[in-house]
Amino acid sequence: MAGGVLSDERLIDWAIDEVHKVIGGDAVVQVEPLLELEDKYYGYADLVCGEHVFDLKSGGIPPLPGYKAQLAGYALAHMENTFRDFVWCHELYIDSQYHRYYKITLGEARELVLGILDSHLDENSEPVSCTYCKWCKHTLTCKALTKDFDEDDMKDYDLTNAEDLAEALHVAKRWKIWAEAVEKEAKKQLQEGNDIDGWKLQTRKGRESIDIGMAHKELYSRMGSDKFLACCSMNLTKLRKIWGEFYENEELPVEEFITRSRDSVAMVEDK
């Protein structure tokens, strides 16, 4: 899985349901199998079952081709190992509960994956920035991120013009990735005891926490329930989970009282 931490078990449940819809509940699956094309690359898909390769994704849904290159890498190794002509690739976006799937043949996977490897090994090929740059280990030095730092190459963007704005946004995104890599490196150097002119580390207090059971035992009888509960917040995910464990077929009786804040809006690429 790429990009982020899975914290909500209901989201995982959605992914499990989607897998069941495709392969049924009794199928034998391989969890995080090593998929390798000898001497070329290896990786671990989240789940493989027969002609299906599944990968969980958190965060936003990238535009097509999405994670096709990554899944083609798993698919190619799986097809070569099991003598298949095709497999179905499944990208399960748990945050948005979106299931993207596509069939990929052995020929297509070979062309895509080996093409990427060839280009990677070609000394004359230049990197091209993309949506995966933020996870790359070369963000600090990659020329694809910083290529128009030269003032002569900088354009005078008219940000009221849609085309200019789109172009400027791509440039800004690249620079932002590089800027974050620089900040991370500077922090690392300061932590190692190196001087950086004009900068120092500052310690911030860690977050306080308390065992709620212990607090309840010590304070409840003295504060009373109203005052004590005014200091607590509810984890609805846990509440639903624990309720579901005891009352499997009964919806949480307070569902209708649960309120939801306004949905937030994210800006994602639309290719």
Give me the residues that bind ligand SF4 (CB under 6 A), please: 127-129, 132-133, 136, 138-139, 142, 144-145
CB closer to ligand SF4 out of 5 and 128:
128
Under 8 Å between Cβ of 89 and 68: yes
Give φ, ψ of 52 to 5 degrees: -125, 135
Peptide bond into 65 cis (omega under 30): yes
Give φ, ψ of 34 to 5 degrees: -75, 125
CB closer to ligand SF4 out of 148 and 158:
148
Smallest gap from Cβ 137 to ligand SF4, in A, equals: 7
Smallest gap from Cβ 133 to ligand SF4, in A, equals: 3
Residue type, 81: N
CB closer to ligand SF4 out of 109 and 145:
145
Give φ, ψ of 220 to 5 degrees: -55, -45
CB closer to ligand SF4 out of 61 and 136:
136
Smallest gap from Cβ 176 to ligand SF4, in A, equals: 12
Smallest gap from Cβ 53 to ligand SF4, in A, equals: 23
Give φ, ψ of 196 to 5 degrees: -130, 115
Q: What is the SS3 assignment for 93?
A: strand
